[in-house]
Amino acid sequence: MDASLLSIQPNAPEPLYRQIAGQIRRLVAGGQLRPGDALPSVREVAGLHAINPMTVSRAYSQLEAEGVLLRLRGKGMVVADTAAPPDLGARWALIDPALDALARQARELELPAEDLLARLQHRIQEELP
Amino acid sequence: MDASLLSIQPNAPEPLYRQIAGQIRRLVAGGQLRPGDALPSVREVAGLHAINPMTVSRAYSQLEAEGVLLRLRGKGMVVADTAAPPDLGARWALIDPALDALARQARELELPAEDLLARLQHRIQEELP
Amino acid sequence: MDASLLSIQPNAPEPLYRQIAGQIRRLVAGGQLRPGDALPSVREVAGLHAINPMTVSRAYSQLEAEGVLLRLRGKGMVVADTAAPPDLGARWALIDPALDALARQARELELPAEDLLARLQHRIQEELP
Amino acid sequence: MDASLLSIQPNAPEPLYRQIAGQIRRLVAGGQLRPGDALPSVREVAGLHAINPMTVSRAYSQLEAEGVLLRLRGKGMVVADTAAPPDLGARWALIDPALDALARQARELELPAEDLLARLQHRIQEELP
DNA sequence: GTGGTCTAGACCACG
DNA sequence: GTGGTCTAGACCACA
């Protein structure tokens, strides 16, 4: 996996280490990262995104505690063989809070569902920077 | 406005005061709360949701500083006359971060856009508890 | 719970934060810390043992992730209600690795079991500093 | 000495090289390895346990520096003649940290000393895999 | 008052 | 080369 695939937003309210952990967790759950795949080294991610190595390490450690990643001593982190295989239910569960938040906000703002869905579709399909 | 309309989730990662402020901000932007409308008292909200009154007060103060609410001495908080009128662009801007987060997560999880849109539509239209 | 009950050995091979986490985990499993009991604040433990607050915080965070502790916002950490009640099997499981290591080392050193048991009994019953 | 006598646990928290060094140190102190006895080659140990040869070499080098092992050119490592003869005090000293850790953990878990001693006795006497 | 996050930098452990 | 641990210190978020 390439370190540049991670998207870090320093000004977001979500802490950096949780942004990283969340992305990797979803990439594993979605099957874009498979058991055995190597992750970019702590120093590589930290250097590329100009953040502290400890911040990256914290994300990795948390995922290791969850069983998502495995630490190969002296070699780095890989996706664990024991990581749950992509399971549709689990994937929906991971996105559910965000879905819920969006729906609630749309109701509060009285934004028409039709327009919201159109915007979301466009946002999903657009090319990434 | 009735205090019970606020939805507070103590275990969510989003801080309580920001949950409260965000909801009120969106209800005003969406037109469900109009200039002059009274807000429930700090005590009422705090008592109903079993949270610290200071937390509610902090949300109100922040909205007052933004010009969304007005503190009427002896009468409590009301929606300010100077609050920006419901503006479609502003409303979309308020929901944009959530929209963006959802789209990104869906891509990472490789969830089909079609299913996501269907779920969102259902979630928006369902009755609230 | 009193911060002075924690025993920190800076020169042990086991990292400080894991020493702390392990002790609390065992005190909860053994019933000496019960659900709802408050833990000493990060700053208190750090100050008393002359270690960095972050080190203590790391132990607490890990136990929170395990479900042993609960973070009461603005009030500190308490033993979680959902923490497993003292279970004899679980307690033996927690001590099993140490038991195993001791037995193996005794065999390698060809130390007589009788003497080892006598020493252990004495060590368990002796007064603590 | 046969390489298969070494017990290596890759997932234990104790580093591999220290597992190896500790075992050999204890076998020498206990008299199961005597001065002049040959040790299995680095390659043999590494191959059998599927670990990095450098890890084995590091353990050997450390023991050589301690005076426990001697590097005979062309013949491999042997137990040094100058290795301290089995001394009862030294043997107890080697096991003391483990004894201490076990006692402390038992107290924290409030496990009865009687049961602990019984389990330990059973564990010492049982056959090894 | 509480805990959380992040940084910069040092040093260690491991392969 | 890899990750881990710890520190000192700054600043934030929350109640």
In angstroms, the CA A40 to CA A28 distance is: 14
Residue position matching structure tokens 């914290």:
A58
Which value, in Å, is the radius of gyration of the alpha carbons in chain A? Answer: 17
Alpha helices (H) in chain B, listed in sequence order: 16-30, 42-49, 53-66, 88-109, 113-125
Q: Which residue of C has its CA nearest to A63?
A: C65
In angstroms, the CA B24 to CA B18 distance is: 10
Per-residue pLDDT band at A127 (split at 50, 70, 90): low
Name the closest residue (CA) to the C1' of nucleotide E8. Answer: A52
Question: What confidence score (pLDDT) does residue C93 get?
Answer: 92
Tokens (6 digits) for D89: 């005090």
Residue position matching structure tokens 């079993």:
B50
In angstroms, the CA C20 to CA C56 distance is: 7
Residues in chain B within 8 Å Cβ distance of C72: none
Alpha helices (H) in chain A, listed in sequence order: 16-29, 42-49, 53-66, 88-109, 113-125
- Is the model's pLDDT at B128 over the cut of 60? no
Name the minimum distance, in Å, from the CA of A45 to any CA of chain B. Answer: 18
Question: What confidence score (pLDDT) does residue D128 get?
Answer: 57
CB contact under 8 A, B120 and A103: yes
Return the partners of chain A (3 or more C-beta pairs < 8 Å). B, C
Which residue of D1, D24, D91, D99 is the best one to mutate when testing the C interface, meaning the one whose CB has the most C CBs within 10 A? D99
Could you say which of B107, B111, B124 has the minimum Cβ distance to residue A106?
B124
- With CA of C75 and C1' of each nucleotide, the nearest comes out as E2
Q: What is the DSSP secondary structure assignment for residue B12, as one 8-state letter?
A: S
Q: Which residue of B has its CA nearest to C71?
A: B11
Q: Which residue of B has its CA nearest to C75?
A: B52
Chain A to chain B, count of Cβ pairs less than 8 Å apart?
Answer: 111
Mean confidence (pLDDT) of chain A: 90
CB contact under 8 A, D23 and C108: yes
In angstroms, the CA C111 to CA A36 distance is: 44
Listed by number, the residues of chain B in 78-107 with a beta carbon closer than 8 Å to a beta carbon of chain A are: 91-92, 94-95, 98-107
Question: Do A81 and A36 contact (CB within 8 A), yes or no?
Answer: yes
Please, what are the domains in chain A? 3-79 (1.10.10.10), 88-125 (no CATH)
Return the partners of chain B (3 or more C-beta pairs < 8 Å). A, C
- Tell me the mean pLDDT in the region A60-86: 88
* pLDDT-above-70 percentage for chain A: 96
Residues in chain A within 8 Å Cβ distance of B14: 13
Residues touching nucleic chain F (CB < 7 Å) = A 39, 41-44, 54, 57, 60-61, 64, 71, 74-77; B 14-18, 51-52, 54-55; C 15-18, 51-52, 54-55, 58, 73-75
Distance of CA D33 to the CA centre of its chain: 11
- Tell me the mean pLDDT in the region A99-114: 90
In angstroms, the CA A11 to CA D46 distance is: 49
Name the closest residue (CA) to the C1' of nucleotide F7. Answer: C52
Question: What confidence score (pLDDT) does residue D88 get?
Answer: 85
Strand E closer than 7 A to residue C38 Cβ: no
A115-to-A109, B88, B106, D34 alpha-carbon distances in Å: 13, 12, 19, 83
In angstroms, the CA B65 to CA B57 distance is: 12
Residues in chain D within 8 Å Cβ distance of C8: none
Q: Which residue of B has its CA nearest to C70?
A: B11
| The dihedral sign for the CA sequence A38, A39, A42, A47 | positive
- Tell me the mean pLDDT in the region B107-115: 92
Strand E closer than 7 A to residue C71 Cβ: yes
| The dihedral sign for the CA sequence B59, B64, B68, B71 | positive
Question: Do C17 and C59 contact (CB within 8 A), yes or no?
Answer: yes
Q: Which residue of C has its CA nearest to D29?
A: C109
Question: What confidence score (pLDDT) does residue A41 get?
Answer: 95
CB contact under 8 A, C116 and D116: no
Q: Which residues of chain D fall short of a pLDDT of 70?
A: 83-85, 127-129
Kind of pairing between the strands at B76-79 and C69-72: unpaired
Mean confidence (pLDDT) of chain B: 85
Listed by number, the residues of chain B in 2-61 with a beta carbon closer than 8 Å to a beta carbon of chain A are: 7, 12-14, 22-23, 26-27, 29-32
- Is the model's pLDDT at B23 over the cut of 80? yes
CB contact under 8 A, C32 and D108: yes
Question: Do A33 and A85 contact (CB within 8 A), yes or no?
Answer: no
Q: Which residues of chain C fall short of a pLDDT of 70?
A: 127-129
Question: What confidence score (pLDDT) does residue B85 get?
Answer: 67
Kind of pairing between the strands at C76-79 and D69-72: unpaired
Residues in chain C within 8 Å Cβ distance of D30: 108-111
* Strand E nucleotides within 7 Å of a protein CB: 1-9, 13-15
- Is the model's pLDDT at A27 over the cut of 90? yes
Strand E closer than 7 A to residue D52 Cβ: yes
Main-chain phi, psi angles of B13, to 5 degrees: -70, -30
Per-residue pLDDT band at B127 (split at 50, 70, 90): low
